[in-house]
Amino acid sequence: MAVKIDENLCGHIQDCPVQGLCIKLCEQGAIIEKNGDVSVIPDKCDDCDLCIQNCPNQAISKL
């Protein structure tokens, strides 16, 4: 099961307190930067939950 990003809660990369830590933590490359926003590639997500556990805005959850 992949993750989803709530765009209303996400600070995007520019306003993220940890500057896109979810992208840096994702070893599978399932979370990427796309035009200053954070995007998920569901097929690459391996359900490790690191992004969910480390998002300071609690913007990432399971689908």
Q: What is the pLDDT of residue 41?
A: 96
8 A C-beta contact, residue 53 and residue 62: no
Is residue 46 within 8 Å of 18, Cβ to Cβ?
no
Cβ–Cβ < 8 Å for 13, 19: yes
pLDDT given for residue 12 in this prediction:
87
DSSP 3-state of 31: strand
CATH number at residue 32: 3.30.70.20
- What sign has the CA pseudo-torsion 61, 2, 52, 58? negative
Prediction pTM value: 0.89
Domain housing 16: 3-62
pLDDT tens-place string over residues 5-46: 999 999 888 889 999 999 999 999 999 999 888 999 999 999
**How many Å separate Cα 37 from the centre of its chain?**
10
Number of domains in the chain: 1
3-state secondary structure of 38: strand
pLDDT band at 58 (very low <50, low <70, confident <90, very high): very high
